[in-house]
Amino acid sequence: MLVDSHCHLDFPDFDGDRDDLVVRARAAGVTRMVTICTRASAEPAVRAIAEAYEGVYYAVGAHPLNVGEAPLPTVEELIAFAAHPKMVAIGETGLDYHYDTWPPDMQKESFRRHIVAARETGLPLVIHARDADADVAAILREGYDEGPYTCVMHCFSSGRALAEAALGMGFYLSMSGVATFKNAQGLRDIFADAPLDRVLVETDAPYLAPVPKRGKRNEPAYVAHTARVGAEIFGVTTEAFAEATTRNFHRLFTKVPPTMTVP
């Protein structure tokens, strides 16, 4: 029993075999998938995919690398999207300073709007952070001090300080295929020091395929490879890690019908 808490099933990489991809995921034990919208304008297409497949849900937001392509979605627009029964999270949002695509101030304004929407809807916030750890931590804390909300640090590959800041607010860290890479021992150490009950697992498909699929197109079924490494990191069986991360997912993504009892 596994969950892919973050993938992009609307991307054209999957146009030729989306049906088969979902079948392969289920065969690998992936009972739930959350396909993530990176542009508000893509919401209809992402929603249609969630509606088409049992066990597939979706999130809506504006990725920081896309914030200047169109007017930023308003808080009210983000809240309105949440009326759909399969829309289960706000995002992805956050900050990305790796590429000089859009000004930091524009990214921060978008980020803050998503935080408000997450607080107002009670849905979890999905965070992208790249080369912006200090600013991401500051804005998360600023928003939390204004009123609590829930959050997952998607594809966590940042530094220890951001991990500790996020965990300190009760947020979750999501493990992707990056944690399986040979040169990622520092990241594995950060996860090893995190509470297992605050860890999720994801693919970020079609990106970041885990070892032994590295370099290939990623897909939800491959979350099983990351789960095996996650189990090694925490010194538990793969079955125990899958059960723990699935329980964590349901505790955070409360709108998704549970596949298990969640305390």
Q: What is the 3-state secondary structure (H, E, C) of 62-86?
A: CCHHHCCCCCCCCHHHHHHHCCCCC
Annotation: CATH topology of 2-252:
TIM Barrel (3.20.20)
Provide the 8-state DSSP code for 102: S
Q: What is the helix (H) or strand (E) element at residue 20, kind and residue range?
A: helix 18-27
User: Per-residue confidence of the chain (263 residues) as pLDDT tens digits?
Assistant: 899 999 999 999 999 999 999 999 999 999 999 999 999 999 999 999 999 999 999 999 999 999 999 999 999 999 999 999 999 999 999 999 999 899 999 999 999 999 999 999 999 999 999 999 999 999 999 999 999 999 999 999 999 999 999 999 999 999 999 999 999 999 999 999 999 999 999 999 999 999 999 999 999 999 999 999 999 999 999 999 999 999 999 999 999 999 877 77
Question: What are the residues facing 93 on neighbouring strands?
Answer: 127
Q: Where are the domains of the chain?
A: 2-252
Q: Which long-range contacts (CB under 8 A, 24 or more apart) does 204-208 make?
A: 204/6, 204/7, 204/8, 204/154, 204/155, 204/176, 204/177, 205/4, 205/7, 205/8, 205/9, 205/14, 206/8, 206/11, 206/13, 206/14, 207/8, 208/155, 208/176, 208/177, 208/178
- Asked if the bond preceding 120 is cis, omega within 30° of 0, the reply is no
Quote the pTM value: 0.97
